Structure 1
Amino acid sequence: MRIAELAGRRVAVWGFGREGRAAIRAIRSRLPALPLALYCRADEADVARAFDAALTVYGHEPEAVALSAYDVVVKSPGISAYKPAVVTAQAQGTAFTSGTALWFGEHPDARVAGVTGTKGKSTTSAMLAHLARALGVRTALAGNIGLPLLELLDASAELWTIELSSFQTGEAGPLELGVVTSLYEEHLDWHGTRERYVADKLKLADAARTLLVNGQQAGLLELTAAHPQRLLFGTEPGWHVADGWIVRGAQPVFELAAMSAPGLHNALNACAALAALDALGLDAVRAAAALASFRPLPHRLHPLGERDGMHWVDDSISTTPEATLAALDSLAGREVTVIVGGYERGLDWSHFVQATRDRCGLRVITQGANGPRIADALRHVRTELPLGEADDFADAVAMARTVTPQGGVVLLSPGAPSFDQFRDYAERGRRFAGLAGFDEDGAGIAGLGVA
């Protein structure tokens, strides 16, 4: 759908976060006289009226009857497409779209590499943009990574690197390249079931002319086997990791010791980015040297520094148990206290529990809404594991400071979302930094926009 198609129709925007504000600005830029309603939280209503005096603002969540009064609703990504009110309104004729879908409608000929995955999609997207720019390609970096596409409505780029969440993959238009970094269980609160999450995530494959997937995941390989133009990374003869190097086929290209982003999982993200360059017809081997200058994204295994004789690492982006295990693997051989727990989504922690059974030098502190469930699971499998249960986040950090030996690592890698205590993972990471004694402001994501 193009923005011009909203002319003469009854239109509402649902959500007043950055995506919602970008949608309002974009619609106003094309259709300044279009009557526009906004549904937002009660505490946002006054700010919304000041933002655009012509808006009709409702400071509450709409029910099906209200939604059915509109021809089109522009919905923010965090609002589930499976909410009963949405499903009912759709059945009664209301069309739902998004900022992502509107951008693709306005840019049908853009050269797009869309990146998704349960984990690794943000870093892979940022690496791909960084490497393409190192080759002199004018590249946009936007999407779920922190810059709504509609904020770049009138921008031009040779290559668009767009991160897409599972909420957005079904809204993407035709893609030259789709990349799937990984596929685990996540966001069941939005999608309802694991099967629906997987199906929604893999809608990217339907939109992608060429599909690049993680060759190390058997389930992902099986689910994408029918794609006519599927490529793999992480395995021979493509881009993979071997003997301390990033390798293309049999050719060692980049030594892992020179990587700015730590951990084998980031080396695999680099393989995905380099394989994507190859798929786009760009010189990936020449670009690989720029991995040394890539600036790691905040809250993703971000070393904050040393305080009180301990090293503090912020991995607040971790929202699945698998991501927490990857973080622990990157710190193998060190004394680690890991803080886990957060918003309860009913994810399976059994693999995490089993993986910690034989690990030495590990202490676990649980907190958050699902903290008691994780602690119970750990006690049943490994009673000798040093385990602490904290009442809240601040208590967990204080406990970690007490039990971690000198020279050890305090790792925040919750394996769960932050919504039980924080607005998002970034706020949680900033709070962790502050409690540890570092600057809470920190650094943002480098490279967003067009360069």
Structure 2
Amino acid sequence: MRIADLAGKRVAIWGFGREGKAAIAAIRARLPALPLTLFCSPAEVTAANAFDAALVVRGEEPDAAALAMFDVVVKSPGISAYKPALLAAREAGIRVTSGTALWFAEKPEARVVAVTGTKGKSTTTAILAHLARGLGVRTVLAGNIGMPLLELLDDAAELWAIELSSFQTGEAGPVELGVITSLYEEHLDWHGSRERYIDDKLKLTGVSKQLLVNATQPFLLDHTSAHPRRLVFGDAKGWHVAGGTICRGAQAVFEIANLRAPGEHNALNACAALAALEAMEFDALKAAPSLATFRPLPHRLQPLGEHDGFHWVNDSISTTPLATLAALGSLQGRAVTVIVGGHDRGLDWSEFVAEMKAHAPHAIIAQGANGPRIARVLREGGVAVEETGDLAAAVARARTLTPAGGTILLSPGAPSFDQFHDYADRGRHFAEMAGFDVHEIVGIEGLGVG
């Protein structure tokens, strides 16, 4: 469905975040007289009326009866596609679409690399854009990484590096290359089950002319084996990590020590980006030296620096136990106090406990809504753990537990919603508690056209 197809229809927008605003603006630019109804939270009503005085604003979550008044619903990614009201709307013949789906319908000629994955998707997408621009390729960096596609509807580019969340993979149109960086359980509250989450992630395979996947994950390889044009990274025949080096087959290309984004998992993200560039027929070997100038994304294993005799690392983006394990793996050899815990989504921490029994850091502090549950399973596994009520208390306790010169790592393995608006808000508060100027934690560089 294109925006022009909305003409003459009764249209509702559900969600007033950045995606919702982008949808309203894009529709208004092409169909200025089309009546639009917005469903948003009560707290957003005043801002919504100020944003577009012609909107009919309803400060409520719509039920099936409310949606039955419309022909088309344009929903934001954070609105679960499995809400009963949306399922009933589809059953009744109401078209449910999104900003992502509208963009793909409007830009069928765009050369798109769409990147998804439980972890690594933002960094991989950003590295891809950075490398392509280093070759002089006009490249767009957008999508779930922080800029809605509809904000760039009138822009042209040689390459579109687009991050898609599991909420968006089912909304994408045909893409030249789909990339899946990893696959673990995540966002079970949105998808409803682990199986549905996996199915939703893998919807990207059905719209990808070529598919690039992580060869280090047997589960992912098994679930994508039927794709007729599947490529891999992380395999010794192609782009992979070996002996502290990023390699292309037998050829050593780039020393991991020269990456500003720490950890072997970030080196593997770089391999994914290089392999994607190569699959799109650009010169990946020529682009590889630009890895040295790629700045780590904020809140993703972000070294904040040294303060009060401690090294501070902000990994607030970590929302799964496996992500926390990856963060700890990148800091091996240091005296690390790790702060875990946050909003409880019911994820399984048993693998984390098993790894902590074998390779525990200097100290573990569990905090937040699921802190008591994490602390309990760690103690049942014989792993020492401290417990505090919230992040502020955890930071204070970390200062006491960590030796001089040690590292205090925020890598919660859980979402932020128990105490903060989002992971970025949590990361900024952590940086402030550590004594850093939060204004220096800039947003993601390079969003948009470059």
Asked if 1:411 is matched to 2:416, the reply is: no
Structure 2 residue identity aligned to 1:251: Q
Structure 2 residue identity aligned to 1:155: D
CA contact (8 A) 1:143 1:162 kept: yes
CA contact (8 A) 2:68 2:89 kept: yes
Q: For residue 426 of structure 1, report the CA deviation from its aligned partner.
A: 0.4
Tell me which residue corresponds to 1:68: 68
Tell me which residue corresponds to 2:229: 229
Q: Distance in 2 between matches of 1:102 and 1:409?
A: 45
SS in 2 for 1:364: strand
Tell me which residue corresponds to 2:447: 448
Tell me which residue corresponds to 1:207: 207
SS in 2 for 1:54: coil
Unaligned residue ranges in structure 1 (runs of 5+): none
Residue 396 (structure 1) aligned to one of 390, 394, 397: 394
Q: For residue 361 of structure 1, report the CA deviation from its aligned partner.
A: 4.2
Asked if 1:270 is matched to 2:270, the reply is: yes
Structure 2 residue identity aligned to 1:417: P
CA contact (8 A) 1:324 1:415 kept: yes
Asked if 1:342 is matched to 2:336, the reply is: no
SS in 1 for 2:37: strand
Deviation per CA, 1:16-36, whole angstroms, max 9, x where unpaired?
A: 000000000000000000000
Tell me which residue corresponds to 1:184: 184
The list of structure 1 runs, each at least 4 consecutive aligned residues, that deviate by more than 4 angstroms after superposition, is: none
Q: Distance in 1 between matches of 2:361 and 2:171?
A: 45
Structure 1 residue identity aligned to 2:241: V
Tell me which residue corresponds to 2:163: 163
Q: For residue 360 of structure 1, report the CA deviation from its aligned partner.
A: 4.8
Structure 1 residue identity aligned to 2:358: D
CA contact (8 A) 1:367 1:392 kept: yes
Q: For residue 392 of structure 1, report the CA deviation from its aligned partner.
A: 1.2
**Distance change (3 Å), C-alpha of 1:364 and 1:64:** same
CA contact (8 A) 2:101 2:171 kept: yes
Asked if 1:375 is matched to 2:370, the reply is: no
Q: Distance in 1 between matches of 2:12 and 2:386?
A: 48
- Residues 97-136 of structure 1 aligned to structure 2 (within 5 Å): 97-136=97-136
Q: For residue 215 of structure 1, report the CA deviation from its aligned partner.
A: 0.1
- Residues 358-369 of structure 1 aligned to structure 2 (within 5 Å): 358-369=358-369
Tell me which residue corresponds to 2:29: 29
Structure 1 residue identity aligned to 2:428: R
SS in 2 for 1:241: strand
Deviation per CA, 1:427-446, whole angstroms, max 9, x where unpaired?
A: 00000001111112311101
Q: Distance in 1 between matches of 2:90 and 2:65?
A: 11
CA contact (8 A) 2:112 2:161 kept: yes
CA contact (8 A) 1:68 1:93 kept: no
SS in 1 for 2:357: coil
Tell me which residue corresponds to 1:438: 436
Which deviates more, 282-291 or 86-95? 86-95
Q: Distance in 1 between matches of 2:35 and 2:193?
A: 37
Q: Distance in 2 between matches of 1:95 and 1:236?
A: 46
**Distance change (3 Å), C-alpha of 1:50 and 1:283:** same
Q: For residue 358 of structure 1, report the CA deviation from its aligned partner.
A: 2.3
Tell me which residue corresponds to 1:299: 299
Give the TM-score normalised by structure 1.
0.99
Structure 2 residue identity aligned to 1:400: A
Tell me which residue corresponds to 1:290: 290
SS in 2 for 1:212: strand
Structure 2 residue identity aligned to 1:449: G
CA contact (8 A) 2:362 2:402 kept: no
Structure 2 residue identity aligned to 1:420: D
Tell me which residue corresponds to 1:422: 420
Q: Distance in 2 between matches of 1:233 and 1:360?
A: 30
Tell me which residue corresponds to 2:251: 251
CA contact (8 A) 1:139 1:157 kept: yes
Count of matched residue pairs: 449
SS in 1 for 2:8: coil
Tell me which residue corresponds to 1:85: 85
CA contact (8 A) 2:104 2:172 kept: yes
Q: For residue 419 of structure 1, report the CA deviation from its aligned partner.
A: 1.1
Q: For residue 394 of structure 1, report the CA deviation from its aligned partner.
A: 0.9
CA contact (8 A) 2:213 2:220 kept: yes
CA contact (8 A) 2:341 2:367 kept: yes
Q: Distance in 2 between matches of 1:35 and 1:227?
A: 43
SS in 2 for 1:431: helix
Structure 2 residue identity aligned to 1:413: S
Q: Distance in 2 between matches of 1:127 and 1:344?
A: 31
CA contact (8 A) 1:144 1:162 kept: yes
Q: Distance in 1 between matches of 2:294 and 2:284?
A: 15
Q: For residue 260 of structure 1, report the CA deviation from its aligned partner.
A: 1.4
Tell me which residue corresponds to 1:147: 147
Q: Distance in 2 between matches of 1:120 and 1:155?
A: 26
Structure 1 residue identity aligned to 2:285: V
Q: Distance in 2 between matches of 1:95 and 1:374?
A: 42
CA RMSD between the two structures: 0.7
Deviation per CA, 1:309-357, whole angstroms, max 9, x where unpaired?
A: 1100000000010000000000001111111011111111000010011
SS in 1 for 2:358: coil
Q: For residue 243 of structure 1, report the CA deviation from its aligned partner.
A: 1.1
Deviation per CA, 1:171-197, whole angstroms, max 9, x where unpaired?
A: 000000000000000000000000000
Tell me which residue corresponds to 1:11: 11
Q: Distance in 1 between matches of 2:47 and 2:32?
A: 20
Asked if 1:138 is matched to 2:138, the reply is: yes
- Residues 292-331 of structure 1 aligned to structure 2 (within 5 Å): 292-331=292-331
Deviation per CA, 1:143-166, whole angstroms, max 9, x where unpaired?
A: 000000001010110100000000
CA contact (8 A) 2:338 2:361 kept: no
Q: Distance in 2 between matches of 1:3 and 1:220?
A: 35
Q: Distance in 1 between matches of 2:414 and 2:215?
A: 26
SS in 2 for 1:227: coil
CA contact (8 A) 2:340 2:413 kept: yes
SS in 2 for 1:356: helix
Tell me which residue corresponds to 2:45: 45
Aligned residues with identical type, % of pairs? 69
Q: Distance in 2 between matches of 1:312 and 1:243?
A: 27
Q: For residue 362 of structure 1, report the CA deviation from its aligned partner.
A: 2.4
Q: Distance in 2 between matches of 1:117 and 1:359?
A: 26
Unaligned residue ranges in structure 2 (runs of 5+): none
**Distance change (3 Å), C-alpha of 1:12 and 1:358:** same
Deviation per CA, 1:54-75, whole angstroms, max 9, x where unpaired?
A: 0000011111100111100100
